[in-house]
Structure 1
Amino acid sequence: MHIRWLTAFLDFPVDQFGAEVTFWRAIAGSTVSPPRGEHREFASLEPFNGDPHLRVQRVDDGPGGIHLDLHVEDPRAAAAEAIALGANVVRDDMQGDYLSLESPGGFVFCLVEWHGESERSRPIRWPGDTISIIDQVCIDVPDGLFDREVTFWAQLTARPTEPTSRPELVRLARDPALAIGLLLQRNGIDDESTFATGHLDLAATAVEDEMARHEDWGARMVERLPNWTVMADPVGRRYCITSRNPRTGK
């Protein structure tokens, strides 16, 4: 399939929705679109330039999380391809212009109609000259599902894998036309009852300064590693600030 655009969707429970949207709007340096959907449950985080690649959703059940929207010209045909590769249909709502599926590892994604999105937003230069952008989704995969999950996403996106500095990480070669890149991480869990989840990654030129900005908005540092720092947002949702190049994603 030809993925024309890729969106990271943050799913928030009802009691967290307002405060979490405020936090992530600030971190992304965006505005929030008018709500849409039957119950006004969806909104986009609108960048100051380019097309949105981050969206938010209010969910009635469960703890929320993150999922991907794959924007394609024909969601039904794309779903057939995904199913042939091992995906399962979770919800078929083509009257609402999307199909919800899950990968072999249980990571949820949606196939939605492409409406011409094509312009990548530029990273933001913050006071102090730090440059950053939310530009990657990391899919966290249990050990026993990892190899199959890597194969699935590489085939689904038609992007080759790239080596990284750590054996538990596999990156899909970045499509320069898309604002979001994909990384897969072996999460060290070997339990058949678990499934793949995901988190957001930021690229920043000065990780320490970026951390301080996030902490001012209520985030906290969880763990420091050589090339990235694990953070938790005000309700404990984890994400990473990385030292990748914000302009290239590498």
Structure 2
Amino acid sequence: MQVRWLSAFLDFPADVFGSEVTFWRAISGSTVSPPRGDHREFASLEPFYGDPHLRVQRIDDGPGGVHLDIHTDDPHTATAEALALGATLVHDAGTHLTLRSPAGFVFCLVPWEGESKRSRPIRWPGDAISIIDQLCIDIPADGFDAEVGFWTRFTGWPTTPRSRPELIALRRDPAVTLGILLQRKQDVSHDDGPATAHLDIATNSVEDEVARHEDWGARAVEQFPHWTTMADPVGRLYCITSRNPRTGD
């Protein structure tokens, strides 16, 4: 399988869909595409330059979350490869297929439609630069090694260790806006559930970016030397990280 493009899908419950789209549109500096789908439940967050890599979905059940869309030439062939590596099929919708990784993370295989222009980071007032450019998969410790093996073999992308032992990144494709980070969960009390995901923002000024997000109703949850964990207005967690917004490193 060749990964042509990656999209992070934000799944919002219907009762907070409007407010959540407003928040994520604002902090990403995007506009919102016209709705699509049988029930007008899908939309893209359109960047000022480049092809969309952030999309939103209104859901009827559950708290929502973040899932990954992998755009490829032949989703059905890619599905066979994923199943052989330990994934499970959740639903075959014909045009796209929903699967779970060995650790239970939900992802979709969808047809590539020519997406190729990487988004550019935005310079905000005060000279802070930022972009939402990374999906971090949070993996229970007992399934971490198997999950890392699955994603490296399935994508064909080698790993790049980070400064902390619980973090492993897949090598970033310079032609694709979104990168993938794999994180081993440190809280053993949450190790009995499936892998989940959150979004990471790269910025040259974490402090300025945190303040900007707080103006839109987010709150800082926990601060670390190189990133701050945030909660959006309805409590969805994400991170603002000190990384190069242009390269993701």
Task: Specify if TM > 0.5.
Answer: yes
Find the counterpart in structure 2 of residue 5 from structure 1: 5
Gap regions ≥5 residues in structure 2: none
Which amino acid counterpart does residue 241 of structure 1 have in structure 2? I
1:128 equivalenced with 2:117 (yes/no):
no
Describe the SS at the equivalent of 1:178.
coil
Which amino acid counterpart does residue 18 of structure 2 have in structure 1? G
In 2: Cα distance, 1:200 partner to 1:102 partner = 19
Kindly indicate whether the alpha-carbon contact (under 8 Å) linking 2:218 and 2:231 is maintained by their aligned counterparts in 1. yes
Which amino acid counterpart does residue 161 of structure 2 have in structure 1? P
Kindly indicate whether the alpha-carbon contact (under 8 Å) linking 2:140 and 2:192 is maintained by their aligned counterparts in 1. no
Which amino acid counterpart does residue 36 of structure 2 have in structure 1? R
Kindly indicate whether the alpha-carbon contact (under 8 Å) linking 2:185 and 2:191 is maintained by their aligned counterparts in 1. no
In 1: Cα distance, 2:81 partner to 2:3 partner = 12
Which amino acid counterpart does residue 67 of structure 1 have in structure 2? H
Describe the SS at the equivalent of 1:11.
strand
Which amino acid counterpart does residue 46 of structure 1 have in structure 2? E
TM-score, with length taken from structure 2: 0.98
1:115-159 per-position Cα deviation (integer Å, ceiling 9, x unaligned) = 000000100000111100000000000111111011111111111
> How many residue pairs align between the two structures?
248
Find the counterpart in structure 2 of residue 88 from structure 1: 88
Find the counterpart in structure 1 of residue 173 from structure 2: 175
Which amino acid counterpart does residue 33 of structure 1 have in structure 2? S
In 2: Cα distance, 1:5 partner to 1:209 partner = 30
1:211-244 per-position Cα deviation (integer Å, ceiling 9, x unaligned) = 0100000000001101111000000000000000
Q: CA RMSD in A?
A: 0.9
In 1: Cα distance, 2:161 partner to 2:183 partner = 12
With over 3 angstroms needed to count, the CA separation of the structure-2 counterparts of 1:41 and 1:224, relative to structure 1, is same
Gap regions ≥5 residues in structure 1: none
Find the counterpart in structure 1 of residue 227 from structure 2: 228
Find the counterpart in structure 2 of residue 187 from structure 1: 185
Find the counterpart in structure 2 of residue 33 from structure 1: 33
Offset at residue 177 of structure 1 (A):
1.3
TM-score, with length taken from structure 1: 0.98
Offset at residue 193 of structure 1 (A):
3.3
Task: Point out the more displaced range, 164-173 or 181-190.
Answer: 181-190
Kindly indicate whether the alpha-carbon contact (under 8 Å) linking 2:78 and 2:109 is maintained by their aligned counterparts in 1. yes
1:16-95 correspondence to structure 2 within 5 Å: 16-94=16-94
Aligned equivalent of 1:138, options 115, 133, 136:
136
1:9-63 per-position Cα deviation (integer Å, ceiling 9, x unaligned) = 0000011100000000001000000000000000000001100000000011110
Percent identical: 70
Offset at residue 188 of structure 1 (A):
2.1
Kindly indicate whether the alpha-carbon contact (under 8 Å) linking 2:141 and 2:191 is maintained by their aligned counterparts in 1. no
